Structure 1
């Protein structure tokens, strides 16, 4: 640590002159598209042994405008395994003149518990609350790590609209220690230097211009420079481990779980009462899963090693709560008592997660689920939900790689993916328009698979008032009410379904001018995003999952009108998907048939013009209007 501090003292002496961060000194090539310019971002880690490391960060950010305001906040966490020893900071104006320094009393100390019942994580937080743009903030922080299970990742460009002057990651290890690292989109080789007892690794990125935000771009982690570092041997919470392979990572996790799957006698008896008469394992799994759901609830507990080690099954059974790892461990214990082998699975969960780097064993996980291996009949169980259907993963944990922890050898597995035909939205609309243009409609929608995820969450986690508020804002109608609505879930199928039924009233839906009546026949299923064309597309186009929408709309118009202008049918079919809409008029009745299919996949940037054309044609077709004129008397 003394070597780091001595080196940084030399750096600081070079940066302490007045007006050192004037905005005018930013290279001109870095300012286009940039809301934030990283003038300097230096991260250093000094690993002393598997149980101890020091870290240091010194960064200088120029906040160009309000869009970068979130980067002006200083936030760093500490807990049982991580201490913060010192924090300093300075605010500069656009000319690079010092305005003020951080005062100790202005640094907030906040709980990191959030929704957790118990959590020893805390945060040091500071903000200058300066609003005269552009301006510059400088912060330095030093700390100590008690165990190197988690090592920092270097991502010099954290998002679009961020430019970088200088950024670096430096890691110092004992000469005989094996540091593991993975470089992603890093041009060049790591710089290494060996001394008598130490080895130093360094990565640098300089003068990187900001990239604009692009619609349907890949996840940022997949298109930005990153270096991930991980230990070989490590110590964590009194446990020793090694993670140069997934099998060894799994062995460490097994040591945390050892002896924690013992159920109390009454729960063992209950398991046999519930399952001994059932004929198939699938019936037993579903029954025990529902028992777990009905008799426990999720509460996050992240105290010390408890962030990784589960509460034991006996504790969960008696107290009827646990976090993801505790509830999953409990579920595995219930299945074990019924004679069914199941495994805990570490996963990186999240709607927009990029998944793990399966070729680089390291701690990349934030969640635990359960897998019951059985070939084609393998069952996956999300144990933190009291309402989700047995076997269903959804968008939060589905279609990604994860680590199945097993005494027979831990290994990377993949969670279920839901295909286009699983993700349906089928909608029936029956509507009437009166002589004043008022619309009255009954809308019945059946959603399956990933298309029902949001509805499932809404039904089970929101009040009727909150549900109604959602319905009052999701349709592209200027003035409407939803007098009645209801939901019915089917959780028995392998792919769950939600039926939504609602009444819709929209005043002035149809516009009546003189003897003409104007209306849009597509009432509720309109595509609302018009894509902007760009001169140059940089990144590939990514559509994350496939789905199908089918709509049938019947509208009865007032007496005395005949069609004057009707939009033509539209039929589109290409690599991005398919769209078809047609119209039929019989007397006072309008029939609209609409089908929209989106294909999942990654498409080359050169196809973006075709992509924009496809979706803007859908947008135009969905907004199309009919014109009726009063019949001559």
Structure 2
């Protein structure tokens, strides 16, 4: 008991002499649960003094518990020709909150903020990769940034990462101009957020958010506040807007208008290329293929060039461009033969993110093209040299985008690939030599199941065989005798035809032989379970698998035919049916469709049970004799 009292007294004594709140000893236990780091105090003050004058004073004190938490420090700041950084410091504090190290601006690494795939850029970053000798450790990161760009005002995101709790986070904007400043907040209801005034927010004592299977994007359910001015400046180009239409008009007039001029020889070339085409779609397909064959993607992020595309004639001359330039170039070529299209700004990425239709501001990170046709509109990804005409894939599907033309801007949606559109069909003919399985299997993929399959064409035979051995890891001693791929870009269908042998596929059990009914498409999810799930969950796109296996049994006979299985759930439908066409031919049909939807956290256990039941049936065995 004396030892316990002494330890309690020691902790209390140390905590009482700690420098402010810098010691890990003062952190509440509730903020340590599931946390790799804790934001002790984050303070952001943005001051707007003119349409082209803004400053950001930033301070963050963070306690790091482990190496994963060190990745959450975020000791970096971006700058460019119109954004300057001063008062850049990093302080390191020990267990009782005493300062042990200090780094100034000259100690930070100063380097380009973009990868080697970028041809031109003036974007740079100061960053500090501090490695502590032990944990926990507390860091204080601070800087002041001044900029003339007011088209972007950073949002308030108090919960910016999984596994990071928040002790205190304050965000304030001081608007010293007469320009209207707008804001939009969301997801406050489940978090401790206080709004002190119109543009002053404080978050306190927010526990760490765990990353859970099938969770939506973090930003979809954590608190945030967006801000924007009705009059703004971007790289010396000033604008004013009161809605998306006006905002798109400003972008068209300043970034796109006049940048679609083509040289006369290219116009003649395009006319000759399309002269035998009967429809606008056929013309558009030829132009898209011409663009893919005669240009390549390279990033340009230089000043206003980060927002304004290269002139179309420069793309033709140089044979390269970024997403803006290649999209604008394709748009110009289509226009030369009378086909209209819209330049569309989008948030690209595997996780779906929308341009906010209710809050106009500079948004998006990519540009794609919508081609207008009387019969059907088409979407083009202009940065890919291999993408099929009219196919976006998971990079930009099913999200709201800003479409821009001479009439201004409007929010529209990209195509959805949902449920049965994302189809994979497998047909296999299987026979046996002793215990070995000999198979000819054909797999056709559509929609998002097509998305990554064409990459197989670009692999060497060695890596193709390694891919299949991993893909069908349930098959022992697998040998790929031959394979053939067919990429039908017209139908957006990828076909794999594989001839293979799996040794000892049949298993002996006494006098019986055991046959696995589904050798090639077993659903074996390693899905996590939770005693108490925190987040809602999402099935983002859905898909459908249709499999048919024809077993030629030879001298074997089916001893017992299992009952057919049907599972009908809010999450999807599963069917596994068995039939004997004669005593030597067994047909197994398997259908699985998983539905796109958003679900409440309380439904997650039912979803796990649905997947586990499918997995059990996918392991179904038959007895042969």
Q: What TM-score do you get using the length of structure 1 for normalisation?
A: 0.89
Residue 491 of structure 1, CA deviation: 1.1
2:472 matches 1:475: yes
Aligned to 1:190: 195
Report the counterpart of residue 367 of structure 1 in structure 2. Answer: 366
Counterpart residue number, 1:7: none
Q: 2:564 aligns with which of 563, 566, 569?
A: 569
Match of 2:155 in 1: 153
| Matches of 1:562 and 1:345, distance apart in 2 | 61
Residue number in structure 1 paired with 2:573: 578
Distance 1:468 1:79, change over 3 A: farther
Q: Which range moves more in the overlay, 586-595 or 162-171?
A: 586-595
- Residue matched to 1:25: 26
C-alpha distance 251-465 of structure 1, shift in aligned 2 (>3 A): farther
Q: 2:543 aligns with which of 537, 542, 547?
A: 547
**Whole-angstrom CA distance in 1 between matches of 2:466 and 2:240:** 51
- What does the per-residue CA deviation read over 1:251-286, in whole Å, with 9 as the maximum and x for residues that have no partner? 221111121111011101112112244332222212
Distance, in Å, in 1 between the alignment partners of 2:560 and 2:107 is 67
Report if aligned partners of 1:431, 1:440 keep a CA contact under 8 Å in 2.
Answer: yes
CA contact (8 A) 2:18 2:98 kept: no
Q: Counterpart in 1 of 2:12? A: none
Q: How far apart, in 2, do the equivalents of 1:322 and 1:394 lie?
A: 21
- Structure 2 counterparts to residues 519-558 of structure 1, below 5 A: 519-556=515-552
Cα distance between partner residues in 2 of 1:258 and 1:161: 46
Give the Cα separation in 2 of the matches to 1:96 and 1:541: 40
How far does residue 315 in structure 1 lie from its aligned partner after superposition? 0.4
In structure 2, the residue matched to 1:181 is 183
Report the equivalent of 2:259: 260
Instruction: Pick closer, same or farther for the CA change 1:68–1:291 going to 2, 3 Å.
Output: same
Superposition deviation, residue 131 in structure 1: 5.8
Name which of 155, 162, 165 aligns with 1:163.
165
**Residues 1:356 and 2:358 are matched in the alignment:** no
Q: How far did 1:515 drift?
A: 3.9
Match of 1:201 among 199, 202, 216: 199
2:174 maps to 172
- Kindly provide the CA deviation profile for residues 95-152 of structure 1, in whole angstroms up to 9, marking residues without a partner as x: 4444432355642222223122222222222122226333322211221122112221
The residue aligned with 1:303 is 302
User: Which whole-Å deviations, capped at 9, do the CAs of 1:330-376 have from their partners, x for residues lacking one?
Assistant: 11111111122222111111110321211000112111111223365
1:232 matched to which residue of 2?
230
Q: Deviations over 1:512-569 (max 9, x none)?
A: 355444443321211121434433333333111122101112345684x555676543
Secondary structure at the aligned position of 1:272 is classed as: helix
Mapping for residues 303-342 of structure 1, pairs under 5 Å = 303-342=302-341
Matches of 1:274 and 1:147, distance apart in 2: 43
Asked if the contact 1:221/1:354 (under 8 Å) is kept, the reply is no
Q: Distance between the aligned counterparts of 1:241 and 1:465, measured in 2?
A: 56
Q: Secondary structure at the match of 1:153?
A: coil
Secondary structure at the aligned position of 1:617 is classed as: helix
Distance in 2 (CA, whole Å) between partners of 1:513 and 1:572 is 30
Secondary structure of 1:118 counterpart: strand
For the pair 1:288 / 2:284, whether they are aligned, the reply is: no
Q: Secondary structure at the match of 1:71?
A: coil
Q: CA deviation at 1:483?
A: 4.1
Gaps of 5+ in 2: 1-15
Q: Separation in 2 of the partners of 1:78 and 1:557?
A: 69
Other-structure match for 1:44: 45
Partner of 2:486: 488
Matches of 2:324 and 2:571, distance apart in 1: 39
Shift in alpha-carbon separation, 1:276–1:98, aligned structure 2, 3 A: same
Report if aligned partners of 2:420, 2:593 keep a CA contact under 8 Å in 1. no
Paired position in structure 2 for 1:389: 388
Aligned to 1:601: 597
Of 255-264 and 36-45, deviating more is 36-45
Root-mean-square deviation over aligned CA pairs:
2.5
Residue equivalent to 1:8: none
Q: 1:328 to 1:484 in 2, by over 3 A?
A: same
Is the CA contact 2:352–2:399 (under 8 Å) kept in the aligned structure 1?
A: no
Which deviations, in whole Å up to 9, do the C-alpha atoms of 1:382-434 show, x marking residues without a partner?
21112222222222112111111121232111111224332210012233444
Which range is displaced more, 245-254 or 523-532?
523-532
Once residues 625 and 470 of structure 1 are traced to their aligned partners in structure 2, the CA distance between those partners, rounded to angstroms, is 26
Given that 1:530 and 1:615 are in contact with CA atoms closer than 8 Å, whether structure 2 keeps it comes out as: no
Bigger mean CA deviation after superposition, 113-122 or 333-342: 113-122
Matched residue, 1:497: 493
Q: Which whole-Å CA distance do the structure 2 matches of 1:347 and 1:309 have between them? A: 15
**Contact 1:566-1:625 at 8 Å conserved across structures:** no
Secondary structure at the counterpart of residue 293 of structure 1: helix
Cα 1:19–1:391 change in 2 (3 A) is same
CA contact (8 A) 1:160 1:212 kept: yes
Cα distance in 2, alignment partners of residues 66 and 567 from structure 1 = 52
Q: Distance in 2 between matches of 1:346 and 1:67?
A: 34
Matched with 1:621 is: 617
Counterpart secondary structure, 1:56: strand
Residues 19 and 97, structure 1, Cα contact 8 Å, conserved in 2: no
Cα distance in structure 2, aligned partners of 1:376 and 1:80 = 47
How far residue 293 of structure 1 moved from its aligned partner, in angstroms, is 1.6
User: CA 1:457–1:183 in structure 2 vs 1: closer, same or farther (change >3 Å)?
Assistant: farther
1:75 maps onto 2:76 in alignment:
yes
Query: Residues 138 and 438 (structure 1 numbering): CA distance in 2 closer, same or farther, change over 3 Å?
Result: farther
Q: Is the 8 A contact 1:241 1:248 kept in 2?
A: no
Asked if 2 retains the 8 angstrom alpha-carbon contact of 1:257 and 1:309, the reply is: yes
- Counterpart contact for 1:459–1:487, Cα < 8 Å: yes
Which residue pairs with 1:136 in the alignment? 138
The farther-off stretch of 441-450 and 236-245 is 236-245
Could you list the per-position Cα deviations for residues 265-310 of structure 1 after superposition, in whole angstroms to 9, with x for gaps in the alignment? Answer: 1101112112244332222212212121221111111111111111
Is contact 2:50-2:177 (8 Å) kept?
no
- CA distances 1:425-467 after superposition (whole Å, capped 9, x unpaired): 00122334443x443333210001111001134436x555544
For residues 603 and 240 of structure 1, what CA distance do their matches in structure 2 show?
A: 44
2:11 alignment partner in structure 1: none
Deviation at 1:204, TM superposition (A): 0.9
Q: Distance in 2 between matches of 1:558 and 1:208?
A: 66
The worse-fitting range, judged by mean Cα deviation, of 462-471 and 498-507 is 462-471
Provide TM-score, normalisation by structure 2.
0.90
Please say which of residues 222-231 and 249-258 is displaced more in the overlay. Answer: 249-258
| Aligned equivalents of 2:361, 2:546: Cα separation in 1 | 44
Supply the distance in 1 between the matched residues of 2:139 and 2:437 (Cα, whole angstroms).
56
Displacement of 1:94 after TM fit? 4.3
* Conservation of the 8 A alpha-carbon contact between 1:51 and 1:146: yes
